[in-house]
Amino acid sequence: MLEDVKKNADLKMQKSLEALKNDLAKVRTGRAHVGLLDHVMVEYYGSMVAVNQVANVNLGDARTINVQPYEKNMIAKVEKAIRDSDLGLNPATNGDLIRVPMPMLTEERRRDLTKIVRTEGEGAKVAIRNVRRDANDALKKLVKDKAISEDDERRAQDEVQKSTDKAVAEVDKMLQVKEADLMAV
């Protein structure tokens, strides 16, 4: 029971870190990378699917993403989906290839993106602290049900706190790397 609570808390904290990593990947720097289009959805025969499911997505060069839809009739839909996404990109079609150039980031835009990154980080920290609270509540319930002693609860709470501190430090490290990446010209 005690190990389950700790293991469950660790798993949930890892999921929060993974979610933050995915969210940070979506915040674009000046460089092109194919993961940028992963969350762009396009209509494909009545259902919404990711662009990388209906097209070959690769790098043309450091500042350009090339998107080549598998079917000719998808070119306009994919281009529209990329243009309408919240990424601020302006794709250009060249035959059956869609080129997506990465515009240079202005200083003001970099600062805005840094604020967005910090907000994402705070959200992750809140999620991690919520996991800690839930784990501590579960431990208190075990003590109340006389399943574990108060000493065991205190030791387990210390371990959960150590896991929390480690996860928060990991969030801070991710944010520091991403901010440095954004501010690099």
- Number of domains into which the chain is organized: 2
Q: What is the pLDDT of residue 60?
A: 84
- Mark whether 69 and 159 lie in a shared domain: no
Where a domain ends, among 101, 126, 159?
Answer: 101
Q: What is the pLDDT of residue 6?
A: 92
Tens of pLDDT along 113-157?
888 889 989 999 999 999 999 999 999 999 999 888 999 999 999
Report the range of poorest mean pLDDT among 41-55, 79-93, 119-133. 79-93
- Mark whether 118 and 163 lie in a shared domain: yes
- Mark whether 85 and 110 lie in a shared domain: no
Judged against a pLDDT cut of 80, whether residue 29 lies above it is answered with no
- Mark whether 12 and 77 lie in a shared domain: no
- Mark whether 19 and 38 lie in a shared domain: no
Neighbours of 106 (CB within 10 A): 9
Q: Which two tokens stand for residue 48?
A: 């919404």
Nearest 5 degrees, angle CA 123-CA 127-CA 133?
140
CATH number at residue 116: 1.10.132.20
Q: pTM of this prediction?
A: 0.69
- Mark whether 13 and 58 lie in a shared domain: no
- Report which of residues 90 and 87 the model is more confident about: 90
- Mark whether 149 and 164 lie in a shared domain: yes
- Mark whether 178 and 112 lie in a shared domain: yes
Judged against a pLDDT cut of 90, whether residue 61 lies above it is answered with no
Taking the CA of residue 154 as centre, how many other CA atoms within 13 Å lie in the half-sphere pointing to its CB? 3
CATH number at residue 43: 3.30.1360.40
Judged against a pLDDT cut of 80, whether residue 3 lies above it is answered with yes
Angstrom CA distances, 36 to 90, 95, 124, 158, stand at: 14, 23, 20, 39
The C-alpha atoms of residue 171 and residue 178 are separated, in whole angstroms, by 11
Report the range of poorest mean pLDDT among 23-27, 74-78, 121-125, 157-161. 23-27
- DSSP result, 117-180: HHHHHHHHHHHHHHHHHHHHHHHHHHHHTTSS-HHHHHHHHHHHHHHHHHHHHHHHHHHHHHHH
Q: Measuring CA to CA, which residue among 56, 109, 108 is closest to residue 87?
A: 109
Neighbours of 71 (CB within 10 A): 13
Residue-averaged pLDDT of the chain:
89
- Mark whether 80 and 116 lie in a shared domain: no
- Mark whether 92 and 110 lie in a shared domain: no
Tens of pLDDT along 90-103?
899 988 899 988 87
- Domain that residue 111 falls in: 2-26+106-183
Judged against a pLDDT cut of 90, whether residue 165 lies above it is answered with yes
- Mark whether 91 and 38 lie in a shared domain: yes
Judged against a pLDDT cut of 80, whether residue 32 lies above it is answered with no
Q: For 55, phi and psi rounded to 5 degrees?
A: -150, 155
Where a domain ends, among 76, 101, 126?
Answer: 101
- Report which of residues 89 and 13 the model is more confident about: 13
Where a domain ends, among 47, 69, 101?
Answer: 101
- Mark whether 63 and 92 lie in a shared domain: yes
